[in-house]
Structure 1
């Protein structure tokens, strides 16, 4: 269990051994501060996939898509990670990582890894640009959400209306104590906040947690700010969607979608 000092920890997780990590109080969630916010766990799983890739001598492959299935809630405690290669290959691989607590699987991630083929003349995307972080006003997720994790995230936001906003997020809290992670793993440890950046309704009126997260990446994240151009839709039938275009300062680098279960209070 985390100690009171963990509230000021400089990392979301501490490595215990090759496949086991201790969550610090920094991961406290928005729906329940006593449970883990899923964002850091997703970053941890992507880091495990990339670390396994590198150990196998497949470092020339890059993460192109990440699909995350959230199977249940997680206490702020130790977790175990297991990685398996489902489809090996020299240029394309499908890799799966499972995060468990006390023997119960809680998060399942599958990632397509692809070889790069440099073709700068083909680069381009028709996604609408958003203003950079320096052009947007500071905004705090803590205005809407409890929990330690959101308080560790710096945000800037321009909201057009509830459910539609451009935002930039970053954190100075490390994913894993005293351990370097890739820009992709760092980004994947943040993008789940998209569902809380511009809610259609306040959480006092409805619960709308996401069941999954799927990210498709075609560009490289910046080393600091992650931009999210977010649209939220509720179907009126208990189903919802949060969809965001992911941006770096130079433009769009991917998209991320979250399936929501929408439940009136």
Structure 2
């Protein structure tokens, strides 16, 4: 099995997605986790706050992202020395946006009032969790191979709430070591996938957004999420997840899901 070492290859004016970006619904479209991380990378590169922290990331998914060439661009919407808002957009070169990120970034302070409040990890750790490979991807080399998955409870392959740890099995962009925050974005869009309440073969439940709020940046190789999906019964659902590194909780995520029969 020939597995790429990265999710994206840089080109002159953008990137080309590798097979590790392939999502579960259609082999021609990317899982939203990799492009979310690519948008974060662009937003941080456009930032005017050196060594700042990204505290809120709100993604809108306008259309599926094809597996192939993509382009990203970013601009500072609200500049500032302490707080800024950065917007990043992904397209395939035709100016039609497929995904958009709105990211609030802040200056890091060593003298912040109150100090750090550590919220303990509420799930078994990565080395007390079991390895598992998703069984529903149509391609052997796809998104599920981009991360090393360890399940604390629940399963990729059965409905219900689930908690999983991951560590990167590849880089985001060729020639660059993936950062913990980029890893978090690659992982967190799968929260609704690991905690689905529906059968993959009979229903679709694609998310139209992804929102992440962080009270501190992630650190280390292993990151985790404890996710639960709630069906609304009217064609909509919501997924909520607590996000962790091995030291404690770092934030939470939400996803709005569009649910319909396959």
TM more than 0.5: yes
**1:217 paired to 2:214:** yes
- Residue matched to 1:16: 11
Further displaced range: 251-260 or 156-165: 156-165
- Residue matched to 2:136: 144
The CA distance in 1 between the partners of 2:33 and 2:46, in whole Å, is 20
Distance 1:258 1:109, change over 3 A: same
The CA distance in 1 between the partners of 2:241 and 2:205, in whole Å, is 16
Deviations 1:82-137 (A, max 9, x none): 11111000100000000001312100001000112334854225576111011111
Q: Equivalent of 1:79, from 70, 86, 90?
A: 70
TM-score for both structures, normalised by structure 2: 0.90
CA contact (8 A) 2:121 2:246 kept: no
**1:239 paired to 2:253:** no
**1:38 paired to 2:32:** yes
Q: How many residues align?
A: 255
TM-score for both structures, normalised by structure 1: 0.89
- Residue matched to 2:107: 115
Further displaced range: 120-129 or 176-185: 120-129
CA contact (8 A) 1:144 1:202 kept: no
**1:198 paired to 2:191:** no
Give the secondary structure class of the aligned counterpart of 2:244: strand
Give the secondary structure class of the aligned counterpart of 1:26: helix
List alignment gaps of at least 5 residues for structure 1: none
Deviation at residue 171 of structure 1 after TM alignment = 2.3
List alignment gaps of at least 5 residues for structure 2: none
- Counterpart mapping for 1:131-210 below 5 A: 131-140=124-133, 142-147=134-139, 148-157=142-151, 158-159=153-154, 162-210=159-207
Give the secondary structure class of the aligned counterpart of 2:257: strand
Further displaced range: 117-126 or 189-198: 117-126
Deviation at residue 261 of structure 1 after TM alignment = 0.4
CA contact (8 A) 2:121 2:244 kept: no
Further displaced range: 144-153 or 128-137: 144-153
CA contact (8 A) 2:88 2:101 kept: yes
The CA distance in 2 between the partners of 1:174 and 1:88, in whole Å, is 30
Give the RMSD, CA atoms, in angstroms: 2.0
**1:101 paired to 2:92:** yes
CA contact (8 A) 1:213 1:258 kept: yes
Deviations 1:16-62 (A, max 9, x none): 13x51111122111111221111111101101111122xx4x21421
The CA distance in 2 between the partners of 1:184 and 1:151, in whole Å, is 19
**1:264 paired to 2:235:** no
